[in-house]
Amino acid sequence: MSRIEGRNLRVVLYEGPGSRALDGEERFEALSTLLDNGFEVTRPMAGQDVAPADGAPMLVLGRLDEAPAADPEQEVHFRDLGEVDALEAAREVREAAGARKLEAWKPWFPVIDFDRCTNCMQCLTFCLFDVYGVDEKKQITVQNQDNCKTDCPACSRVCPEVAILFPKYGKGPINGDVVREQDVQREAMKVDISTLLGGDLYGSLRTRQREARKRFSTERDESKALLERKRCLGKLKKDLDIPDEVLMTLPSAEDIEERAARAKAKMEKRLARSQTVQDARPAPTERDWGI
Amino acid sequence: MKILYCNCTYAKVVPADVKKDVLRRLCDSGQAFDAVADLCDMSARKDAALRKIAEGGDTKIAACYPRAVKWLFHAAGTPLPSEGVDVLNMREDSAEDIAKELLA
Looking at the structure of chain B, the number of domains it has is 1
The answer to whether residue A145 sits within a structural domain is yes
Residue range(s) defining the domain that contains residue A88: 10-97
Separation CA B18–CA B77 (nearest Å): 29
Q: Convert the pLDDT of each residue in A122-145 to its tens digit.
A: 899 888 889 999 999 999 999 999
Which CATH number covers residue A154? 3.30.70.20
| Same domain as A23, residue A75 | yes
Looking at the structure of chain A, the number of domains it has is 3
Q: Output the CA torsion A24→A25→A29→A30 (10° steps).
A: -40
The answer to whether residue A47 sits within a structural domain is yes
Q: Among A45, A75, A97, which residue terminates a domain? A: A97
The answer to whether residue A221 sits within a structural domain is no
**In this predicted complex, what is the ipTM?**
0.96
> Which string of DSSP letters, residue by residue, matches A129-151?
S--EEE-TTS-EEE--GGGSPTT
As a whole number, the mean pLDDT across chain A is: 79
Q: Output the CA torsion A214→A216→A219→A223 (10° steps).
A: 150
A165/B67 CB distance under 8 A:
yes
Q: Convert the pLDDT of each residue in A39-71 to its tens digit.
A: 999 999 988 877 777 778 899 999 999 877 777
Q: Which of residues 55-94 of B touch A (CB under 8 A)?
A: 56-57, 64-69, 71-72, 74-75, 91
| Same domain as A115, residue A92 | no
Q: Convert the pLDDT of each residue in A1-47 to its tens digit.
A: 465 666 789 999 999 989 999 999 999 999 999 999 999 999 999 88
The answer to whether residue A210 sits within a structural domain is no
A168/B48 CB distance under 8 A:
no
Closest CA of chain A from B99, distance in Å: 15
**Phi, psi (deg, nearest 5) at residue A41:** -130, 135
| Same domain as A89, residue A120 | no
> Judging by DSSP bridges, how do beta strands A76-80 and A58-64 pair with one another?
parallel
The answer to whether residue A191 sits within a structural domain is yes
Residue range(s) defining the domain that contains residue B96: 2-102
Quick check: A222 pLDDT over 80?
no
| Same domain as A185, residue A154 | yes
Q: Among A97, A126, A141, which residue terminates a domain? A: A97
pLDDT band at A219 (very low <50, low <70, confident <90, very high): very low
Q: Among A45, A62, A97, which residue terminates a domain? A: A97
The answer to whether residue A118 sits within a structural domain is yes
